[in-house]
Amino acid sequence: MIFTVAIDGPAAAGKGTISRAVAAQFGFAHLDTGLLYRAVGIKGGDPVQAARSLCDADLARGDLRTLGAGQAASVVAALPDVRAALTDFQRQFARRTGGAVLDGRDIGTVICPEAEMKIFVTASAEIRAHRRWLELGGDAAPQSIADVLAQVVERDARDTNRADAPLRPAAGALMLDTSDMDIDTAVDRATAAVMAQMRQKL
């Protein structure tokens, strides 16, 4: 069975957690496409060459979840040649037999517009900044919550205003606002929606 779930949304909205849970629930393969861009951004050098030469070791680096890697990812993701270099890999992953869940910022709009299920996960910038700040250690974090919020807002602007594949909900996507939702509820809603769509396709 080929069944693609495309999950998009801004940073710290919960799409990664939801994507992993959905993949586990249905036994689908999972790809966090943001890691591809993080790896390219933090690798340094010519970003297009970095994208073309990505290997498993690059995706296994321990610093891919840092704020610096996230900022670097947002910068290189705005480069059309970098996006083109990574597109084929993502599309092949998405259409593998056995089902796949991909999360990112342009999965439902650009990478997999034919995905059987599209979900757009979002939350307010303030909520997302607070979540990211807690991930960084809360009061022990190296940055204040105000600084994290400023970075979230800056990244949102860059991701939504870039000329190539801007962040936006795909047509027909299920909108999932997690601002006032715990993760279990968000996962349950996403899982139920995928299940309903799978039943229609079978």
- Per-domain boundaries in the chain: 4-190
Label residue 21 by pLDDT band (50, 70, 90).
very high
Single pTM value for the model: 0.86
Is 9 among the annotated ligand-binding positions? yes
The overall average pLDDT reported for the chain is 93
Residue tagged 């704020």 (tokens): 67
Label residue 56 by pLDDT band (50, 70, 90).
confident
Is 191 among the annotated ligand-binding positions? no
Average pLDDT over residues 51-79: 89
Q: Is the pLDDT of residue 202 over 80?
A: no
The tens digit of pLDDT for each residue in 113-135 reads 999 999 999 999 999 999 999 98
The tens digit of pLDDT for each residue in 136-182 reads 899 988 899 999 999 999 999 999 998 888 999 999 999 999 999 99
β-sheet bridge partners, residue 30: 101
Is 193 among the annotated ligand-binding positions? no
H helical segments located in 138-182: 145-161
The tens digit of pLDDT for each residue in 4-17 reads 999 999 989 999 99
Q: Which of 52, 40, 35 is nearest to 76 (CA)?
A: 40
pLDDT score recorded for residue 30? 95
Residue tagged 């809603």 (tokens): 189
Provide the 3-class DSSP secondary structure of residue 46: coil
Percent of the chain with pLDDT over 70: 100
pLDDT score recorded for residue 165? 86
44 backbone φψ class: left, alpha, beta (φ>0; ψ -120 to 50): left
Q: Which amino acid is at 2?
A: I
Is 169 among the annotated ligand-binding positions? no
Is 10 among the annotated ligand-binding positions? yes
pLDDT score recorded for residue 78? 87
Is 34 among the annotated ligand-binding positions? no
Q: Is the pLDDT of residue 88 over 80?
A: yes
User: Domain spanning 4-190: which superfamily?
Assistant: P-loop containing nucleotide triphosphate hydrolases (3.40.50.300)
CA distance 89 to 85: 8
Is 11 among the annotated ligand-binding positions? yes
Q: Which of 91, 98, 97, 116 is nearest to 26 (CA)?
A: 98
Average pLDDT over residues 181-188: 95
| Burial class (CB within 10 angstroms; exposed 0-12, middle 13-18, buried 19+) of 161 | exposed
Reading the block at residue 62, the tokens are 């321990």
